[in-house]
Amino acid sequence: MSTDPQDQPGTSEWLSKQLTTLLNSPHIHFTQPKIPGLQIRMGPGPIDLFSTRFANMFTTDVSGVLGGQEVDRDGLKQGLLALQKKLNKDSVQSQEAQSAEGYQASRTWESPL
């Protein structure tokens, strides 16, 4: 068994590693073209790694706080996708912060704007 904190679920290092992996995962959104009277079978298409990893990482009843607002699972996913679009992956740094409930991971980055 590994003693590396990044491999120990529940540690801030583990959470930071999981979020980094998630935010570096490509999100592929594909909608089938709607052509009246024509039904096209497109096949399975590419794998959406972001959605797959998000589904595996978070339970169906997960909630969180983004920008001071409490969000449900869908809100958390949309918030993380919005963050992914703005993220400058070369300047991301993880910081550990102590909260009343335990550890929480804090992410900081330089804004590309």
DSSP notation for 42-69: --S----HHHHHHHHHS-TT--EEETTE
Tell me, yes or no, whether 33 lies in a domain.
Answer: no
Give, for 85, the enclosing helix (H) or strand (E).
helix 73-86
pTM (2 d.p.): 0.64
Q: Which residue pairs from 18-24 have beta carbons closer than 8 angstroms and sit at least 24 positions apart in sequence?
A: 18/57, 19/80, 19/105, 19/107, 20/92, 20/94, 21/53, 22/50, 22/53, 22/54, 22/57, 22/80, 23/80, 23/83, 23/84, 23/87, 23/89, 23/92, 24/89
Nearest partner of 85 among 54, 50, 57, 53, judged by Cα: 50
Pick the range with the lowest mean pLDDT from 5-9, 65-69, 93-97, 100-104.
Answer: 100-104
Q: Considering only 18-22, 51-55, 101-105, which range has the smallest mean pLDDT?
A: 101-105
The reported pLDDT for the residue numbered 43 is: 66
Confidence check: pLDDT of 112 > 60: no
**Full residue range of the structural domain in which residue 55 is found:** 5-27+46-108
Lowest mean pLDDT, pick from 33-42, 56-65, 80-89, 104-113: 104-113
* Structural domains in the chain (count): 1
